[in-house]
Chain A
Amino acid sequence: MIYSIIGYYSLISGLCLGLILIYFSVKNFKNSKLLDSKILSFTFLQFFFVVISFLCLILSFVLSDFSNETVFNNSHTTKPLFYKIAGTWGNHEGSLLLWLFVLTLFILIFLVRSKNQPIKYKILTLVFQQIIIIGFFAFIILTSNPFNYIYPTPIEGLGLNPILQDPALVIHPPILYLGYVGSSIIFSSALAATTLKMINKSWAAHIKKWVLISWVFLTIGILLGSIWAYYELGWGGFWFWDPVENVSLMPWLALTTLLHCILVLEKRLILTSWVIILSITTFTLSMCGTFLVRSGILNSVHTFANDPERGLFILVFLFSLIFLSLIIFFFFHKTNKNNSESLFWLSKETSIIINNWFMMYFLSVVLIGTVYPIFLDVISSQKISVGPPFYHKLIIPFLIPFLLMMAIGPSLKWIKSNLENKVYLFSLLIISILLSFLIVENFDKNILINTILISSALYLFFITLRDFFIKKNKNISQNIAHFGFSLLILSILFNNLFSTEIITNLKVGETFVSNDTKIVFENINQKQEKNYKAILGNFSVENPDGTTDKMLPELRIYNQPNIVTSEADIKTTLLSDKFIVINLVQNQEYFNVRYQVKPFMLWIWLSVLLVSFGGLVSFFKRNKHEK
């Protein structure tokens, strides 16, 4: 109980500090020879209070303090300790503390690491960031207080959803938040730089580190979410174009585009408007995502508490930020019309601009697909669903030129290029096409589109692979990232093409035989765990190549809350995953058994790691140059 009080007053203190910081910042702005040391101290103090608050909530969860409403709603005495701690941020109120944590941490690091930057710029960035921070403090204190007191103290909590008791889901939110909440610093500093007319090459070099770190975390965060979905939801799918997934993908697309614009801005003074707009857009999309997911207007597997009042607060807050950004952009940003920096059609900048154009298109597809049903419902009371077929139809055809451009772009020079190495570029293209046709023709589904897709991805693959070995113009981080991306597309395509599935109903002791696989349902075991009862199915699966796997899919019957979940048994090898699930059938003695062979699953995860590794390499490379 004491922790709730400390936690709550820490939040109040944090809010007050935000206001104090704005006051001192404005004062310092007027005569800014030196950054007022009070500002740095108060920023640190604000972060410190958020940490205290967060720790108090964690302690309340660990101690199962059910006088705290959040703990009561989301925890249970029988939950394992690890998941009690994780339960802190697995709910709406706690996750907002995570928001505040990242917001305050990043501005602190920004101030500490920007010693060489102009003082006015630092102050203004702080001011914009504090506007966001104060908004979130107000949001928490007014509508989502994690320290609400309930009396009389219940003996037991309502328990966390067992689907959320998973290691991947424990680290997925923090990493994801470091990504898209981290983009707040890009937002604030872009607005500051715009106001001070500082959008230029040196600012680009400075902000690039932040873009990279936010981008790396966001990529990994999305990866973790996909991995979790693969293990826990559905039958071996890892991306469902679910609104909440889309909501994390949109900032990623904006951030990736921003990253490439920054790369151009570092070299030439162009695309300044785009850099500002994208900086604003990335964070706006993050907040918009928060709004969509927590307000209850979207129907999804992952939605948090449905509370329209909270939704209203975020909506107003979000649009205030948007209007503020728009006003700053239009009043302070002047593109130099006189600046006739020319753009030659065959140059690296152009290829980047073209691919940015494509990425913006992808972003608009995802955005429109996600929010359109809301609009339609409000305007004409019609409910429609927008699912995977929509996204596939609109995105896949455009992936082809996108991949080709990614392959050719890096080999172009800045400003003006005459396509060197025409011979090898062209011959690799032919090889890719032939190879992919050979692969696809044995599987006859949609030969044409698959051939073209695979050949584009293969082309990118070969080009980036070859680029590892040629010495000139070595940009290793870009190479790694693009190579990883080609691997990702190839893995997804092959996985799609070559996956097989067997669905059957089996009683204990029965066997299923197809022309290359034999599934024997040997018996079932029952086990009693701490908070659930497990039914394990013993299966022996004979593969086409003669080997046999023992597989143990599980059914878990939880007591709090009272639901049944199905845990897949997945055998992962470098080449493919074998995936088996069982399900109870109402009122029947048999089980529904689903067995899938999914090639290249591991490569899907590894390739995303490779992509983010490329970003990480770039991040550390930059630091070396500055010293």
Chain B
Amino acid sequence: MKLLRLFFVIFFIIFPNQIKAEEGDLKNKITKNLRCLICQGQSVYDSDSEFANSLKIVVNKKLDEGFSEKEIYKYFEDKYGEWILYDPLFNKNTYFLWLLPLLIFLIGGAIIFKKFIKKHQ
């Protein structure tokens, strides 16, 4: 464990850019995940509309104020509803959304598996 910690310390000393790069990355990640509400299907990152530009400023401000990524999403969800988030939340509205594909995967697997069991009998 100590060795791992040492490794990380040395790693971050040698590559300090990574931390700064991460801030820009985080901002990009967040704006890519927010829908530009007055555009037809573009993210805030991709859009250049007035709304998107203002939103980018707000995201910057919130990051400076120390908001975490999740808190920023919650902030916008409170103001504009779930529709502004491109990453659907996992709540009672979206259980089927997230679980149905996985269910289909398992069912597919079961069908194939049964085929083998049958043949080997």
Contacts and interface: CB of A to CB of B under 8 A. Distances in A.
Direct contact of A and B (CB under 8 A): yes
Contacts of B112: 353-354, 357
Contacts, number: 119
Contacts of A302: 41
B86 A389 contact: yes
B5 interface: no
Contacts of A299: 40-41
B87 A389 contact: yes
Contacts of A343: 115-116, 119
B66 interface: no
Contact of A235 (B45, B82, B97): B45
A342 B84 CA distance: 51
Interface in A379-408: 380, 382-390, 393-394, 398
Contacts of B96: 372
Contacts of A301: 39-42
Of A240, A299, A365, A384, chain B has the most CB atoms within 10 Å of the CB of: A384
B93 A384 contact: yes
A95 B24 CA distance: 42
Contacts of B85: 384-385
Contacts of B102: 394
Contacts of B48: 566, 583, 592
B100 interface: yes
A19 to B, nearest CB: 40
Contacts of A342: 119-120
Interface in B25-47: 25, 28, 32-33, 35, 39-43, 45-47
Interface residue SS majority, chain B: helix
Contacts of A340: 119
B102 to A, nearest CB: 8
Contact of A364 (B32, B100, B119): B100
B16 to A, nearest CB: 11
Contacts of B97: 368-369, 372, 376, 386, 390
Contact of A387 (B39, B81, B86, B98): B86
A90 B83 CA distance: 30
Q: Which of B42, B45, B109 has the most CB of A within 10 A?
A: B42
A445 B17 CA distance: 12
B100 A368 contact: yes
A506 to B, nearest CB: 15
B68 interface: no
Contacts of B116: 343, 345
Contacts of B53: 585, 592
B15 A442 contact: yes
Interface string A348-368: 000001100100110011001
Nearest to A594: B48
B25 A390 contact: no
Interface string B62-91: 000000000000000000011111111100
A586 B49 CA distance: 10
Contacts of B88: 384-386, 390
A3 B97 CA distance: 50
A165 interface: no
A388 B40 contact: no
A243 interface: yes
Contact of A368 (B18, B40, B50, B101): B101
Contacts of B35: 385, 387
Nearest to B121: A340
A340 B119 CA distance: 7
A458 B64 CA distance: 40
Nearest to A383: B83
Given A300-B40, A372-B97, A390-B87, A234 B46 contact: yes
Contacts of A385: 35, 82-86, 88
A566 B48 CA distance: 10
Contacts of A233: 42, 46
A387 B109 contact: no
A266 interface: no
From A302, A365, A398, A444, name the one whose CB has the most chain B CB atoms within 10 angstroms: A444
Contacts of A387: 33, 35, 43, 86-87
A365 B98 CA distance: 9
Scoring A360, A382, A387 by chain B CB atoms within 10 A of each residue's CB, the highest score goes to: A387
B63 to A, nearest CB: 15
B46 A237 contact: yes
Contacts of B28: 501
A444 B40 contact: no
Contacts of A585: 53
A233 B42 CA distance: 9
B111 to A, nearest CB: 8
B104 interface: yes
A478 interface: no
A100 B65 CA distance: 58
Contact of B42 (A234, A353, A365): A234
A242 interface: yes
B100 to A, nearest CB: 5
B94 A384 contact: yes
B105 A361 contact: yes
A364 B104 contact: yes
Contacts of B39: 301
21 contacts: A234-B43, A234-B47, A235-B45, A240-B46, A301-B39, A342-B120, A357-B112, A360-B104, A361-B101, A364-B100, A383-B81, A384-B82, A386-B88, A387-B35, A388-B32, A388-B86, A390-B86, A390-B98, A398-B105, A442-B15, A583-B48
Interface of B: 11, 15, 18, 22, 24-25, 28, 32-33, 35, 39-43, 45-48, 50, 53, 81-89, 93-94, 96-98, 100-102, 104-105, 108-109, 112, 115-116, 119-120
Given A301-B41, A343-B115, A383-B82, 15 more contacts: A233-B42, A234-B42, A235-B45, A240-B42, A364-B105, A368-B100, A368-B101, A372-B94, A384-B88, A385-B84, A389-B33, A390-B86, A390-B98, A393-B87, A394-B101
Interchain residue pairs A-B with the least CB separation, the first 7: A387-B86, A389-B87, A234-B46, A300-B41, A383-B83, A361-B105, A365-B101
